Amino acid sequence: MDVFKLSILGVMLVAFASAMYLTGKFIYHMLHIVRNVTGKYAYFLGALLLFMPSQFNEVGNLHRAKLLNIFPFMFLSYSVVFGIKFYIEAQRAV
């Protein structure tokens, strides 16, 4: 097997593993955010609550900060996985 193909496979596996790990952390912190909402209009605001720290108690704000730190890395991991996937599909079509 070619070294380039092996390196692509290695990068894909590392990106996929990190995407799965970060998705698990994202779900964990999101669960704690939902459990620690303490606001008058919390049920009406929905997803906009992530940008309103006054709607959470201390635990909710802690998990909110961790969630916002995880999100860019999760997005980057999924971008790498799907970028390599589309690259491989384009190479097969040629």
- What residue ranges do the domains of the chain occupy? 49-94
Across the range 14-38, mean pLDDT stands at 91
Question: Quick one: pLDDT at residue 34?
Answer: 81
Q: What is the dihedral angle through the alpha carbons of 56, 67, 63, 43, rounded to the nearest 10 degrees?
A: 30
Q: Say what angle helices 3-35 and 58-93 make with each other, to 10 degrees.
A: 150
Question: Quick one: pLDDT at residue 48?
Answer: 74
Across the range 82-91, mean pLDDT stands at 93
Instruction: Return the closest-CA partner of residue 37 out of 24, 20, 54.
Output: 54
Average pLDDT, the chain: 88
pLDDT class of 35 with cuts at 50, 70, 90: confident
47 versus 20: which is more confidently predicted? Answer: 20
3-class SS string, 14-81:
HHHHHHHHHHHHHHHHHHHHHHCECCCCHHHHHHHHHHCHHHECHHHHHHHHHHHHHHHHHHHHHHHH
Task: Report residue 1 as tokens.
Answer: 């097997």
Residue 11 DSSP symbol: H
Most confident option among 33-47, 56-70, 72-86: 72-86
Q: What percent of the chain has pLDDT over 70?
A: 90
